[in-house]
């Protein structure tokens, strides 16, 4: 289970009390909850390899991270979405810069069905209908006559929010969607449910089949893999960003360079994301 935000906040407060964030060597990283684990893994490994370097990572959400960047309370902001124009405007008012955007990894979300399910591809619109509860039978999307059983993630997960934003356009999931703790549980449930459908990180897909997705009804169907996620042709892929106020220098630069190096990218793959290259 991920450390609670409460615990993270407590750790942060303790650290802030002990080491004021702008007193020298510490690099503060704040933002996206989706990226917290990734950021923490980067920080741990980086600190192990570079004695004397301190990197402090906290979550709070992409919006919180960007606000912290604008307020000058964090060195690096992790964000799973691009900065909005009004956020850039605020940053320019404060610091005469629109910020530096550095993609650091790619995230791709797979849609799974049972291995016996004849449905091989879905358009985003069909997927939206399925998860909003307007499409309830597999027959409506070219499958067999059977009720679709929806599996979803708990509403605290970044994956849930991403799916809700991108696929449902911010609208509500069908109340019949069953929410399970963790992608692994979703995969397990779908692997045992002939009429189930679920979503989650591509790295987990064992014992289930990934569905190819189409942006529109006529677009080509694309399966998630390193290539399609990297070039963005897979519809449910997104870049994950670091945002900085100015061109990185000194310790911050060393950290960012390391994250972008093969070693850092390798680590991203281990945590379940896709490398940039």
Partner 1 sequence: MALLRPGIDATRHRRMQLWRERFIEFALRSSALFAVVGLLLIIVFVFREAAPVLFDRETQREASVPGFFATPLWQPVGDVPKYGIVPLLVGTFKVVVVAMVFATPLAVLAALFSSEFASPRVREAIKPVIEILAGIPSVVMGFFALMVLASWLQQWTGSTIRLNAVNAGIALGLGVIPTIYTVAEDALRAVPRSYREASLGLGATPWQTAWHVALPAASAGVGAAVLLGLARAVGETMIVLMASGNAAIISGDPFDSVRTLSASIAAELAEVVVGSPHYSVLFFLGALLFTITFIINVAAGVFVERLRKRLAGA
What are the structure tokens assigned to 15, written together?
């650290």
Using rule CB under 8 A, residue 208 touches partner 1: no
Using the minimum distance from each CB to partner 1, give the nearer residue, 141 or 150.
150
Residue (of 62, 70, 140) closest to 99 by Cα position: 70
Taking the alpha carbons of 40, 46, 49, 54 in that order, is the dihedral positive or negative? negative
Check binding of 82 to partner 1 (CB under 8 A).
Answer: no
From 38, 76, 161, 222, residue interacting with partner 1 (rule: CB under 8 A): 161
CA distance linking residue 86 with residue 93, whole number of Å: 11
Least distance in angstroms from the C-beta of 6 to partner 1 = 6
Q: Which of residues 88-107 bind partner 1 (CB under 8 A)?
A: none
Question: Could you say which residues in the range 181-200 bind partner 1, by CB under 8 A?
Answer: 181, 185, 188-189, 192-193, 195-196
Residues for the chain: how many in total?
277
Among 77-85, 145-153, 213-221, 262-270, the segment contacting partner 1 (CB under 8 A): 145-153
Residue closer to partner 1 (CB basis): 85 or 170: 170
State the minimum distance, in angstroms, from the CB of residue 110 to partner 1. Answer: 21
Among positions 131, 163, 173, 241, the unique one binding partner 1 when judged by CB under 8 A: 173
User: Considering only residues 30, 31, 32, 33, which one is a binding residue for partner 1 as defined by CB under 8 A?
Assistant: 33
Which range of residues in 20-28, 96-104, 166-174, 253-261 is near partner 1 by CB under 8 A? 166-174
Q: Quote the least distance from Cβ 92 to partner 1, whole Å.
A: 27
Instruction: Output the 3-class SS for the chain.
Output: CCCCHHHHHHHHHHHHHHCCCCCCCCEEEEECCCCHHHHHHHHHHHHHHCCCCCEEEECCCHHHHHHHHHHCCCCEEEECCCCCHHHHHHHHHHHCCCCEEEEEEEEEEEEEECCCCCCCEEEHHHHHHHHHCCCCEHHHHCCCCCECEEEEECCCCHHHHHHHHHCCCCCCCCCCCEEECCHHHHHHHHHCCCCEEEEEEHHHCCCCEECEEECCCCCCCECCCHHHHHHCCCCCEEEEEEEECCCCCHHHHHHHHHHHCHHHHHHHHHHCCECCC
Piece of 14-22, 86-94, 156-164, 240-248 that binds partner 1 (CB under 8 A): 156-164
Is residue 68 a contact point for partner 1 (CB under 8 A)? no
Supply the minimum distance, in Å, between the C-beta of residue 10 and partner 1: 10
Task: In angstroms, give the least distance from the CB of 151 to partner 1.
Answer: 8
Q: Contact residues for partner 1 (CB under 8 A)?
A: 1-2, 4-6, 9, 33, 60-61, 147, 149-150, 154-157, 160-161, 164, 170, 172-173, 175-181, 185, 188-189, 192-193, 195-196
């Amino acid at each position: 289970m991920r450390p609670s935000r409460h615990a993270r906040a407590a750790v942060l407060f303790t650290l802030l009390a002990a080491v004021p964030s702008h007193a020298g060597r510490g690099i503060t990283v704040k933002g996206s909850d989706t990226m917290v684990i990734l950021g923490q893994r980067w920080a741990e490994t980086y600190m192990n390899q570079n004695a004397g370097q301190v990197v402090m990572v906290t979550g709070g959400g992409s919006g919180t991270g960007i606000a912290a960047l604008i307020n000058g309370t964090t060195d690096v902001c992790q964000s799973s979405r691009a900065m909005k124009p009004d956020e850039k405007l605020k940053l320019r008012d404060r610091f005469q810069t629109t910020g530096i955007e550095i993609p650091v990894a790619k995230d791709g979300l797979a849609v799974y069905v049972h291995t016996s399910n004849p449905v091989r591809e879905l358009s985003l619109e069909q997927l939206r209908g399925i998860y909003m509860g307007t499409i309830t039978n597999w027959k409506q999307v070219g499958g067999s006559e059977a009720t679709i059983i929806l599996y979803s993630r708990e509403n605290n997960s970044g994956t849930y929010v991403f799916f809700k934003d991108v696929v449902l356009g911010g609208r509500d999931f069908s109340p019949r969607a069953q929410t399970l703790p963790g992608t692994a549980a979703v995969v397990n449930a779908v692997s045992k449910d002939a009429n189930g459908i679920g979503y989650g990180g591509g790295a987990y897909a064992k014992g289930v089949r990934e569905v190819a997705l189409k942006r529109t009804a006529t677009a080509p169907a694309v399966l998630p893999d390193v290539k399609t996620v990297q070039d963005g042709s897979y519809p449910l892929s997104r870049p994950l960003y670091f945002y900085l106020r100015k061109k990185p220098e000194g310790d911050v630069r060393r950290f960012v360079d390391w994250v972008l190096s093969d070693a850092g990218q390798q680590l991203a793959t281990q945590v379940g994301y896709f490398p940039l290259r």
